[in-house]
């Protein structure tokens, strides 16, 4: 009886210390940059956003880019936009190259890009305006959808990547950080049920994100594909610069293209098996077709 009680107390104290430790670390993370507002803009009705709060809060404990070389910027100094412009959303489903595009835009424009999240790893590695969600930055990253997610923005760039690739990239990010990988056995966890559920949930989120912004956002909208960025970076970047209505000088543009790789692109690593079953592929194809058709119809109204 007595021993049980002692054990109970020890457990309680350990638990307390653990919670205090976590709170302390997150407080350090939250108070790092000056002039920032906290935790903007997550629609609490969406389970997807709630999940994200965890994803984006805790990785501060294991900065994904520790020990990596520092980014060399083409501009001598990145700047905020002053006076501020009407805020532009950079919308994407996670794993669609959002960070890479932010990096490229900072290179060609010399302006910071912001985010409705606060990813500590990004904040410390090239994106000090992470968590700024207004027109003092060039674009503001968001993975959210719904009225609350859209209402603060005047224009939107929607970055779309094929769902199979994006979902796998997101799976990698959740297990290995921005440039790491999921180990093969993570796909096989709980006899593959975990991965199966992940694919189902994320495919739905992929569809919602893209269609909601496409159909329901009323400001000027520019849709680009990740694959288009990879295949024809120069042209695609120019269309974005046009859409944003900014000027960039020849040298800056050339420099950005030379440094296009940055440090945020995962190197290709091929799994020795295909993580998608035939059934998953059929579903991915079906939804992808539906969304791409909506995009093409949107781009060329009849």
Ligand X SMILES: *[C@@H]1O[C@H](CO)[C@@H](O)[C@H](O)[C@H]1NC(C)=O
Footprint of ligand X (CB under 6 A): 35-37, 84, 132, 134-136, 147, 208, 211-212, 215-216
Min dist. Cβ of residue 82 to ligand X (A) = 8
125 vs 210, which CB is nearer to ligand X?
Answer: 210
- Other CB atoms within a 10 A radius of the CB of residue 185 amount to 7
Tell me whether residue 70 is exposed, middle or buried, using C-beta atoms within 10 angstroms of its C-beta: 0 to 12, 13 to 18, 19 or more. Answer: exposed
Nearest approach in angstroms of CB 215 to ligand X is: 5
CB of 1 to ligand X, least distance (A): 55
Taking the least distance from each CB to ligand X, the nearer of 204 and 261 is 204
To which H or E segment does residue 115 belong?
strand 114-115
Instruction: Residue 88: name the closest of 132, 127, 49, 122 by CA.
Output: 132
**CB of residue 279 vs ligand X: minimum separation in angstroms?**
24
- Cα 264 to Cα 79, 173, 225, distances in angstroms: 21, 11, 18
Q: Report, in Å, the least distance between residue 193 CB and ligand X.
A: 28
Longest Cα–Cα distance of the chain, Å, equals 80
Cβ-based nearer residue to ligand X, 116 or 256: 116
- How long is the chain? 302
State which residue, 276 or 298, has the beta carbon closest to ligand X: 298
CA-based nearest residue to 86, from 30, 21, 156, 172: 156
Q: Which is nearer to ligand X, 163 or 275 (CB)?
A: 163
Main-chain phi, psi angles of 260, to 5 degrees = -60, -30
Q: Give the nearer residue to ligand X in terms of CB position, either 58 or 294.
A: 294
Residue 121 CB, shortest distance to ligand X, in Å, is 20
Cα angle: 115, vertex 146, 106; to 5 degrees: 20
Residue of minimal Cβ distance to ligand X: 212
């Amino acid at each position: 009886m007595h021993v049980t009680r002692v054990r109970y107390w020890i457990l309680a104290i350990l638990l307390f210390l653990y919670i205090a430790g976590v709170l302390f670390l997150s407080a350090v993370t939250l108070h790092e940059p000056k002039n920032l507002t906290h935790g903007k803009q997550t629609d609490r009705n969406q389970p997807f956003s709630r999940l994200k709060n965890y994803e984006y809060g805790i990785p501060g404990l294991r900065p994904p880019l520790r020990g990596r070389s520092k980014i060399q910027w083409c501009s001598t100094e990145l700047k905020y936009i002053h006076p501020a412009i009407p805020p532009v959303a950079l919308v994407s489903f996670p794993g669609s190259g959002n960070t890479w595009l932010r990096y490229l835009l900072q290179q060609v424009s010399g302006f910071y890009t912001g985010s409705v999240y606060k990813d500590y790893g990004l904040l410390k590695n090239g994106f000090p305006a992470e968590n700024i969600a207004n027109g003092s930055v060039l674009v503001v990253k968001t993975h959210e959808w719904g009225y609350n997610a859209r209402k603060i923005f005047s224009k939107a760039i929607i970055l779309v990547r094929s769902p199979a690739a994006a979902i796998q990239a997101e799976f990698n990010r959740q297990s290995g950080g921005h440039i790491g990988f999921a180990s093969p056995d993570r796909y096989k966890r709980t006899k593959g049920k975990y991965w199966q559920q992940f694919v189902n949930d994320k495919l739905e989120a992929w569809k919602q994100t893209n269609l909601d912004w496409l159909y329901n956002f009323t400001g000027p909208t520019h849709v680009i594909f990740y694959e288009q960025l990879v295949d024809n970076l120069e042209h695609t970047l120019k269309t974005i610069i046009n859409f944003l209505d900014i000027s960039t000088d020849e040298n800056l543009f050339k420099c950005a293209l030379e440094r296009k790789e940055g440090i945020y692109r995962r190197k290709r690593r091929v799994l020795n098996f295909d993580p998608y079953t035939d059934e998953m592929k059929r579903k991915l194809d079906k939804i992808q077709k539906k969304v791409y058709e909506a995009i093409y119809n949107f781009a060329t109204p009849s």
